Amino acid sequence: MLAPAIHSDKKTIMTLHSSFLALRSVSLACGLALGAATAVQAAPDARLLAAAEKAQPAVIDNLKEMVLIESGSLNVDGLLKMADVVEGRLKAAGFKTERRKATAGAGADLVIGTVKGTGKRKIMLQGHMDTVYAPGILNSQPYKVDGNRIYGPGIADDKGGLAVMLASLKILADAGWRDYDTLTVLMNPDEEVGSVGSGELIATMADQHDTVLSFEPTAAKSVAKGEPLLLGAAGIAQATMEVKGRAAHAGAAPELGRNALYELSYQMLQTKDLAKEIPGVTLNWTVARATGPINQITEKAQALGDIRITQPGAEKKLNEALQAKIAAGKLIPDTETTVKVEVGRPAFIAGDKGRALAEKAQAIYKEIDRDLVLTPMTGGGTDAGYAGRSDKATVVESFGLAGFGYHARDEYIEIDSIVPRLYLVTRLLTEIGKQ
């Protein structure tokens, strides 16, 4: 009866839904059978599943509405229109809303929604309103429905996440669910440019909550099975190495100069493998610059290195190793080398508590006979890194719709991920509320 639903289209889910209802009524009639059934697989919450199915057309309408608003990270007009749309929907779900200007970047608004309940847990949901696309993208990549896919710029990343979040909150509000102390929604306008004007606020607000669900997209069937939730994402940092030498005439008196470019090259080679000795961090020198002109011994040179962090604190160890290495010796006497490491978006590491929550999500997916995969780590950064920076809140990522093509071309979402995602989010929130 519960064979894996490989093609879980709406019809399959409806069928499962009815058969689970049947199972549930039989089970209720016989206490022993219920115990036995739940040990294997719990029945779905019939009300939430029915509400998820009923909400699908509205989710698609909301997706279309948002995709037709171009909202690249620098497009303040579009981002303000997006803010209007999501704010309206939050209000309709009973939230008090507030707008705040991002503290850096293009200067669009964050939208924050809050609602007080009667329970204990403080829960935050986050997603972003900006996309990577330049103005006019809808001319070459219009909104379009094709079978199980809906195409459009930003439809997966992250408008699908916003649509799931908003519809889930509406379903729960309509169902009268109030089993939380506070529900907070945070939507930022600058995720695709490093959350320069919102990252600190995300970190601060996340620290005031027990649990944060982050709504980046999950992977479509063509890329990965099992609509994964994400438990880790690399943090990003930058190394800057600077060398000060001495200028001199390259033809008439080169011996009076101290070539900063030679010294920079030497120090880059000296340090290029340091990160290989430190677990959880990588370093690649990717940019080098030197002052000219061509007929002068180089006075100043600078290199930039891309650093990825997958273990907390690994970048500090790398920094110490870099400092020690450049202090240990130089190629060109009288040159001065400095190096610094600056952390951008922090690494996201869900840890044991995040994994435990994600396993609950897996069990919930099982209720509707779907597999949910947990992905331990990805190289791309996410705002879950800011939310989990202090490790106070439990954070899990990728509650958005299944999709593909983001940051590329022909971005799409899969329609048959809408109902499972709505069911997952609503059911998981009610479970978190019980904790």
Q: Which residues are tagged catalytic?
A: 130, 191
Interaction residues for Zn ion, span 216-235 (CB under 5 A) = 216
Number of residues that bind Zn ion (CB under 5 A): 3
Are 316 and 333 contacting, i.e. CB atoms less than 8 angstroms apart? no
320: number of Cβ within 10 Å? 13
CB of 402 to Zn ion, least distance (A): 14
CB of 193 to Zn ion, least distance (A): 11
Smaller CB separation from Zn ion, 179 or 216 = 216
CB of 110 to Zn ion, least distance (A): 15
Are 386 and 202 contacting, i.e. CB atoms less than 8 angstroms apart? yes
Which of these ranges, 62-70, 155-163, 234-242, 292-300, lies near Zn ion under the rule CB under 5 A?
A: 155-163
- Determine if 210 is a binding residue for Zn ion (CB under 5 A): no
- In DSSP notation, 254-294 reads GGG-B-HHHHHHHHHHHHTTGGGGSTTEEEEEEEEEE---T
Are 225 and 241 contacting, i.e. CB atoms less than 8 angstroms apart? no
CB of 126 to Zn ion, least distance (A): 11
Cα–Cα dist 188/209, whole Å: 17
Which of these ranges, 214-222, 253-261, 352-360, 369-377, lies near Zn ion under the rule CB under 5 A?
A: 214-222
- Determine if 367 is a binding residue for Zn ion (CB under 5 A): no
Token pair 């909202």 in the structure block, residue: 71
- Determine if 130 is a binding residue for Zn ion (CB under 5 A): no
Smaller CB separation from Zn ion, 109 or 315 = 109
194: three-class secondary structure by DSSP: coil
Burial (0-12, 13-18, 19+ Cβ within 10 Å), 395: buried
Q: What Cα–Cα distance (Å) separates residue 93 from each residue in 87, 107, 169, 174?
A: 10, 27, 6, 8
CB of 365 to Zn ion, least distance (A): 22
Cα–Cα dist 176/170, whole Å: 10
Which of these ranges, 56-64, 134-142, 169-177, 211-219, lies near Zn ion under the rule CB under 5 A?
A: 211-219
Smaller CB separation from Zn ion, 45 or 397 = 397
Cα–Cα dist 225/90, whole Å: 32
CB of 338 to Zn ion, least distance (A): 35
Cα–Cα dist 95/97, whole Å: 6
Smaller CB separation from Zn ion, 190 or 216 = 216
Which of these ranges, 25-33, 151-159, 260-268, 327-335, lies near Zn ion under the rule CB under 5 A?
A: 151-159
Token pair 């929130």 in the structure block, residue: 429
- Spatial CA neighbour of 124 closest among 142, 141, 112, 140: 112
Smaller CB separation from Zn ion, 192 or 263 = 192
- Determine if 157 is a binding residue for Zn ion (CB under 5 A): yes
Smaller CB separation from Zn ion, 216 or 397 = 216
- Determine if 158 is a binding residue for Zn ion (CB under 5 A): yes
Cα–Cα dist 57/69, whole Å: 19
Which of these ranges, 98-106, 150-158, 317-325, 351-359, lies near Zn ion under the rule CB under 5 A?
A: 150-158
CB of 210 to Zn ion, least distance (A): 24
Smaller CB separation from Zn ion, 154 or 433 = 154
Cα–Cα dist 240/304, whole Å: 5
Residues near Zn ion (CB under 5 A) are 157-158, 216
